Structures are given as structure tokens and as C-alpha cells.
Amino acid sequence: MSFGLPLRLVRTASFGLALLYATLLAVSAVILGFIVYWTVQASIDRQMGARIDAEIEILKGELRSEGSAELTREIETRINYFGALEYFLADVDGNRLAGNLSNLPTTDGWSDIAIADPPQGKDPKYFRVKTVHLDNGYRLVVGDDLASKEDIRRAFLGALGWALLAFLVLTLTAGALLSSAFLSRVDAIGRTAEAIINGDLGSRVPLRGTNDNFDRLSATLNRMLDQIQLLMESLSQVSNDIAHALRTPLGRLRQSSKLRAPRLAQIPNAQRRSMRRSMRPTISWTRSRPYCASPRSSREPARRISRARCQ
């Protein structure tokens, strides 16, 4: 019994619509979230690529203007004092001249590499690097740490997950409240119908004065019940009027029959039996009239009214 109300709430149309609405909005939010996510990721990738390309162009200019030795000192200075990007510079024979990158890519262009970090005992670090060959044959690698991009991804997906969870909880709660209000109005109509079945034809569906769909439906049902009650009272009144109108002529007919009994005795038995059979339904119907209640018949149970011989 304790699970009856929750089951009724779940099975209502309003809860189903709220659940459908929540599902559609959740799917829409997920699609929109991933669109925003991929847009942000693409923007980060473009910014990272533009930054690395700009750094490579600066170092190429340093090589052309100052020479190879100055390029090496410039890279060391950037590693020691700035530390924003990662570098690697090798000569024509592949010997390291400057830089802090290891596990270098084997091909030129863009690539993602992982560098282990044993001293810290942490997971490998991931870098996006670009490898180019300079005019003097040196090999230059410039890269950027992907940790910031990963942090943004985790933060965004976590926020999206919590937002969806909160949205679903709020939507289902609102659906349960709407279903509860819906059930209260339906139960009011059901109680009125039960009262009318039990004979209380004056019972009506209560109105809240909100003029919403339920109020308009309740008002329509009440007008229908008023008309039904009026018709039943009119039918009862007409039946009583007919009974009263026929009682006097039938009484006179009976009295006249008694006065003419001697003459009737001369009528053959077969003809008398035929006359009695023809008069019996009318007499029985007239005798049944006292059992037809007048105005208070509208308060009798419907089953009692249907059995009353008032037709």
C-alpha cells in the first residue's frame, strides 16, 4: 500500500510528459554541450598551434640575424627564465645543442608525444610538438604541454555531468508535483461519480475558480448532471400526473363494472376471461403508482429508481 501513490504518480500522463520533456531536453543539452566542448577544444588547438608557429618563426629570425650560437643561447634563456614552451635543438649530426625535450618524434611536422616523469612518480606528460629543419640543417622542436587542455576537458565534462543530473532531478520532481496535482483533480471527479452512483444525485464536482482546463471540464460535468437531475425529476412528475389522471376514470370503470355485474354474468365465460386479461395490465400499472416517489426520488439510489415501476 505504501507504494500505491508513487506508482500512480509514475503512471499518470503528466508524469510521462514531464519525463519525455526531461529526456528531450537532456539529449538536447548533451548535444549542445558536446558542440560547445568540441568548439572549445578546437579553439585551444588553434591557439596552441599559432603560439608554437609564432615561436618557431621568432627562432628562425634569430638564426638568420644572430647565427647558430645565438640561437642556442636564446633557447636556453627561454627554458630557464620563461618555461612556457618546451624546446629541443640538434645539429646536423643529431647531437643535442639545447632543450629539455626527450623522446622526440621521428618525422617533421605536428605530432603528440608522451614523456615519462620517473622522478615525480606521476603519469607521463603529453606534449604537442612541431618539428622543423632550419636553414643551417639544424633540427628544431617546439612543443606545448597538453595538461591545460586535459584539465579544461575534465572540468567541462564534470560540469556537464552535474548539470544534467541536477536538471533530471529537478524535472522529475516537477513532474511528480504536477502528477500529484493532476491526481487530486481526477480523484475529485471520481468521488463525485461514486456519490452519484450511491444515490446522491445532487453531488457536484468542486471548482477551484482557476478557470483552467480542469475547472472548465468540471463546470461542463456539473451542467450535464444538472440536466440529468432535471430530466429525472420531470419524468417522475409526469409519471405521477399520469397515474393521478388515470386513477379516477379507472375507478369509475371498476364501479360501473360492479353495477353491471348482473349483466356480465350473462356474458360467456370465454369472453369475460378475455376482458379481464385485457384490463389487467392497466389496473396493475395504476396500483403501482403509490410506490413512485415524487421530488425526493432524486435522492434515492439509482439502482432503486431503475427498478421502480414508473414507466
Please report whether residue 149 resides in a domain.
yes
Query: Looking at the structure, do residues 17 and 108 belong to the same domain, yes or no?
Result: yes
Query: Looking at the structure, do residues 15 and 148 belong to the same domain, yes or no?
Result: yes
Please report whether residue 203 resides in a domain.
no
Query: Looking at the structure, do residues 125 and 219 belong to the same domain, yes or no?
Result: no
- Domain of residue 287: give its range: 213-307
Query: Looking at the structure, do residues 31 and 128 belong to the same domain, yes or no?
Result: yes
260 DSSP assignment? T
Structure confidence by residue, pLDDT tens digits, 53-75 = 998 898 888 888 888 888 888 88
Please report whether residue 277 resides in a domain.
yes
State the DSSP H helix or E strand holding residue 256, giving kind and residue range, or none if neither.
helix 213-259
Please report whether residue 1 resides in a domain.
no
Of 110, 126, 155, the residue at which a domain comes to its end is: 155
Structure confidence by residue, pLDDT tens digits, 229-248 = 888 888 888 888 787 777 77
Q: How far apart are CA 41 and CA 60, in angstroms?
A: 29
Please report whether residue 290 resides in a domain.
yes
78 DSSP assignment? I
Query: Looking at the structure, do residues 139 and 17 belong to the same domain, yes or no?
Result: yes
- Look at residue 270 and give its three-state secondary structure: helix
Q: Report pLDDT for 257.
A: 66
Query: Looking at the structure, do residues 33 and 116 belong to the same domain, yes or no?
Result: yes
Q: How far apart are CA 261 and CA 249, in angstroms?
A: 18
198 DSSP assignment? T
Please report whether residue 179 resides in a domain.
no
- Regions of the chain where pLDDT drops below 50: 1-5, 290-311
State the DSSP H helix or E strand holding residue 300, giving kind and residue range, or none if neither.
none
Q: Report pLDDT for 54.
A: 92
How many domains does one find in the chain?
A: 2
Q: How far apart are CA 79 and CA 84, in angstroms?
A: 8
Query: Looking at the structure, do residues 123 and 247 belong to the same domain, yes or no?
Result: no
Query: Looking at the structure, do residues 16 and 141 belong to the same domain, yes or no?
Result: yes
Q: Report pLDDT for 306.
A: 42
Q: Report pLDDT for 85.
A: 87
Q: How far apart are CA 230 and CA 286, in angstroms?
A: 24
- CATH code assigned at 108: 3.30.450
Query: Looking at the structure, do residues 113 and 219 belong to the same domain, yes or no?
Result: no
The partner residues of 139 in beta bridges, in order of sequence, read 90, 133
> Helix 213-259 vs helix 147-197: angle between axes, to the nearest 10 degrees?
20
CA 37 from chain centre, in angstroms, equals: 26
CA torsion angle 206 209 210 214 (round to 10): 30
Query: Looking at the structure, do residues 133 and 53 belong to the same domain, yes or no?
Result: yes
Query: Looking at the structure, do residues 135 and 240 belong to the same domain, yes or no?
Result: no
Are 105 and 111 within 8 A, CB to CB?
yes
Of 155, 183, 202, the residue at which a domain comes to its end is: 155
Of 155, 173, 190, the residue at which a domain comes to its end is: 155
Please report whether residue 98 resides in a domain.
yes
Closest CA to 14 of 147, 159, 183: 183
Are 201 and 232 within 8 A, CB to CB?
yes
Please report whether residue 171 resides in a domain.
no
Query: Looking at the structure, do residues 31 and 143 belong to the same domain, yes or no?
Result: yes
Q: How far apart are CA 89 and CA 69, in angstroms?
A: 11
